[in-house]
Amino acid sequence: MKRRTVITSGAAGAVLAPLAGSANAQSEPSITWRMVSSFPKSLDVLFGAMKLIADRVSALTDGKFQIHPFGAGELVPGLKVLDAVQSGGVECGHGPSYFYVGKDPTFTFDTALPFGLNTRQQNAWMYSGGGLELMREFLRGYNVIHFPAANSGAQMGGWFRKEINGIDDLKGLRFRIPGLAGRILAKIGVVPQQIAPGDVFTALETGTIDAAEFVGPHDDEKLGFYQVAPYYYYPGWWEGSAQASLFVNLDKWNGLPPRYQAAIEVACAEANAWSTAEYDTLNMRAMQRLAARGAKLRPFPKDVLDACYDAAFSLYDEIAAENANFRKIYEAWTSYRKDSDSWLRIVENSYDSYVYDRSKRT
Q: How far is the CB of 206 from a copy of itself (least distance, A)?
A: 29
* Of 99-107, 192-200, 201-209, 297-305: span binding a copy of itself (CB under 8 A): 297-305
Q: How far is the CB of 221 from a copy of itself (least distance, A)?
A: 13
On whether the CB atoms of residues 169 and 262 are closer than 8 A, the answer is: no
CA angle at 129 for the pair 274 and 321, rounded to the nearest 5°: 110
On whether the CB atoms of residues 245 and 149 are closer than 8 A, the answer is: yes
On whether the CB atoms of residues 245 and 147 are closer than 8 A, the answer is: yes
**63 or 141: CB nearest a copy of itself:** 63
β-strand 144-151 against 158-160: which pairing, if any?
Answer: unpaired
**143 or 245: CB nearest a copy of itself:** 245
On whether the CB atoms of residues 151 and 244 are closer than 8 A, the answer is: yes
- Give the Cα separation of 7 and 14 in Å (integer): 9
On whether the CB atoms of residues 53 and 246 are closer than 8 A, the answer is: yes
**52 or 82: CB nearest a copy of itself:** 52
What is the size of the binding site for a copy of itself (CB under 8 A)?
A: 106
Is residue 191 involved in binding a copy of itself (CB under 8 A)? no
Element of type H or E holding 340: helix 324-344
Is residue 314 involved in binding a copy of itself (CB under 8 A)? no
**188 or 273: CB nearest a copy of itself:** 273
**Which residue type is seen at 136?**
R
On whether the CB atoms of residues 243 and 151 are closer than 8 A, the answer is: yes
Cis peptide before 148 (omega within 30 of 0): no
Which one, of 156, 173, 179, 185, lies nearest residue 308 by Cα? 185
- Give the residue, chosen from 9, 128, 227, 323, that forms a contact with a copy of itself under the rule CB under 8 A: 128
Is residue 358 involved in binding a copy of itself (CB under 8 A)? yes
Is residue 94 involved in binding a copy of itself (CB under 8 A)? no
Is residue 124 involved in binding a copy of itself (CB under 8 A)? yes
**59 or 172: CB nearest a copy of itself:** 59
Which one, of 123, 149, 112, 179, lies nearest residue 247 by Cα? 149
**22 or 194: CB nearest a copy of itself:** 22
- Give the Cα separation of 343 and 349 in Å (integer): 9
Is residue 27 involved in binding a copy of itself (CB under 8 A)? yes
Q: From edge to edge, which strands make up the β-sheet containing 243-249?
A: 65-70, 31-37, 92-95, 243-249, 144-151
Site for a copy of itself in 134-163 (CB under 8 A): 153-156
Is residue 243 involved in binding a copy of itself (CB under 8 A)? no
**104 or 310: CB nearest a copy of itself:** 310
Is residue 352 involved in binding a copy of itself (CB under 8 A)? yes
- Give the residue, chosen from 2, 103, 289, 293, that forms a contact with a copy of itself under the rule CB under 8 A: 2
- Give the residue, chosen from 137, 251, 299, 318, that forms a contact with a copy of itself under the rule CB under 8 A: 299
Is residue 234 involved in binding a copy of itself (CB under 8 A)? yes
Site for a copy of itself in 207-226 (CB under 8 A): 216
Phi, psi of 234 (to 5 degrees): -145, 160
Cα Rg of the chain, angstroms: 21
**192 or 216: CB nearest a copy of itself:** 216
Site for a copy of itself in 252-291 (CB under 8 A): 258-259, 262-263, 266-267, 269-270, 272-274, 276-278, 280-285, 287-288
